[in-house]
Amino acid sequence: MAETKEFKSSPKITVIYWLYSLGYFAPMIAVSAIIGYINIYAGILLAIGLVAALVVLAIWIPKFHRSIVFKLEEDHAYAKYGVWWVKEKRVPYSLVSEVRVRQGPLQRSLKLANVDIYTPAQGTLRPELTFFQIDANLASEIASNVRRKVGILSSKERRVIEEEILKELKKIRSILEELREKA
């Protein structure tokens, strides 16, 4: 029986989620300040709402990170995560059609990546399962492991096999030419 490889998202997930939320909170703070200048009570009310949202995020982000479990098992890839709504997915390797490593600009700067696993059921538009916000080096290793289990060869592996096939074909050709000359 093959061993199960279990891993999690990088602890840097907290940093990237705070950076993502900054895109929401920065404009909201500006709007709150403008409204507060016009009407102090409305500004205070908006500020209280923003602080409440920040407190919820401060609790949710670490809990979400602790909830994440990714596994590469003998016959399938597995992901489970969620604080309020728990998602659990299993994808048999026999159904995998493509494996991609994906990085956005923030992920590149934090050396994080996602590994997307596609099946024909979902098509190529949306992955069936994603191992998200993992260390970029680990993401490459995981993608290679999944490709190997699925039977998808890297270009380097394919080249080695093609060269071996070519050597065998040349041997067969030389044997056939020797037999032809003897006949």
The full DSSP string for 83-98 is SSS-EEEEEEGGG--E
> Was domain 1-152 assigned CATH 2.30.29?
yes
Q: Which amino acid is at 42?
A: A
Phi (first) and psi of residue 83, to 5 degrees: -100, -60
- Helix and strand element counts for the chain (H, E): 5, 7
Q: Which of 14, 46, 13 is nearest to 30 (CA)?
A: 46
Say what the pLDDT of residue 125 is: 80
Say what the pLDDT of residue 115 is: 97
What CA–CA distance (Å, rounded) separates 130 from 88? 11
Q: Which of 173, 67, 61, 68 is nearest to 131 (CA)?
A: 68
Residue by residue, pLDDT tens for the chain (183 residues) are: 457 889 999 999 999 999 999 988 888 888 888 888 899 888 889 889 999 999 999 999 999 999 999 999 989 999 999 999 999 999 999 899 889 999 999 999 999 999 999 998 766 688 999 999 999 999 999 998 898 888 877 777 778 888 899 999 999 999 999 988 887
Say what the pLDDT of residue 2 is: 57
Domain coordinates of the chain in residue numbers?
1-152
